[in-house]
Amino acid sequence: MSKIKCVIVDDEELARQLLAEYLQDYDHIDIVAECASGRQAIEKIDTLEADLVFLDVQMPGLDGFDVLENIRTNPFVIFCTAYDKYAIKAFEKNAIDYLLKPLDKERFDQAVQRATERIRQNETNFTHIQEETSAREVQGYSKNLFVQKNEKLVNLPVQNIVHLEASKDYTIISTQTDQFVSSLGISKLAEKLDPEIFIRIHRSTIINLQKLAEIERYGAGSLAARMENGKVFPISRSYAKAIKEKIV
């Protein structure tokens, strides 16, 4: 098993130092970043793909809950705060634990043990499902994808996908009612999907032809795809051929 990548987020330097000191007892946890603000935390958590975050609630600017609303990844979170009034909201956000300051070392160790077990279990289950799915689908295109949502792996039938959009190194997968973020790039995901159904209309956009409501013309011969969920995407000239072949 690889080391657990950990990010510490607290606007107080002494609080960050204490967490780092307590974590020295755990060789399997690697502190990859310490952040003093919510904005810095969002960047580091996503860029470094943190597995575990120790997160303060009250910080200037963006607070801990704002951080969770704005990150693309889904790390396991242990809240560390001087206020107990946020506990219910924290657990609604699927926090692993909620530690009150001043931190008690024994209580801290219990939280770390719980987090470690959850992370390792998640890694094992994720790898197992990926291997099984790949083995079954080696002869054809995927009928289902397993996408991460909070702490769960959701079984997503590809027929429910309306469109896919590239977002840097990630891909946003949209259905009629939900969105998921995949760590696979859009080109890698395209390899798993039937090209007769999932058509690339732009270097950053793939649509499900079965969820295409209409094609709109605008400007000097330009085309746009309007999906069943109301989203409209421009069709790049370099990818228009696949669409035009469907016009009768």
Domain ranges of the chain: 4-125, 144-244
Is it true that domain 4-125 has CATH number 3.40.50.970?
no
Tell me the Cα Rg of the chain. 22
pLDDT of residue 129: 44
Question: Using one digit for the tens of pLDDT, what is the confidence trace for 178-211?
Answer: 888 888 889 989 988 988 899 999 999 999 999 9
Residue 107, SS3? helix
Least confident span in 122-126, 158-162, 172-176: 122-126
Query: Which pLDDT does position 1 carry in this prediction?
Result: 56
Residue 150 has phi, psi (to 5 degrees) of: 55, -120
Residue 67 to residue 110: CA distance in whole angstroms: 24
The span from the CA of 164 to the CA of 111, in Å, is 37
The pLDDT of residue 206 is: 96
To the nearest whole percent, how much of the chain has pLDDT over 90?
51
Task: Tell which wins on pLDDT, 115 or 138.
Answer: 115
CATH superfamily to which 144-244 belongs: LytTr DNA-binding domain (2.40.50.1020)
Q: Concatenated DSSP letters for 158-227?
A: GGG--EEEEETTEEEEE-SS-EEEESS-HHHHHTTS-TTTEEEEETTEEEEGGGEEEEEEETTTEEEEEE
DSSP conformation class of 17: H
Q: Which residues lie closer than 8 Å to 230 by C-beta, 6 or more apart?
A: none
Amino acid occupying residue 133:
T
- Whether 126 shows a pLDDT value over 60: the answer reads no
Mean pLDDT of 36-57: 94
pLDDT at residue number 146:
85
Confidence band (pLDDT; 50, 70, 90) for 95?
confident
Average model confidence (pLDDT) across the chain: 86
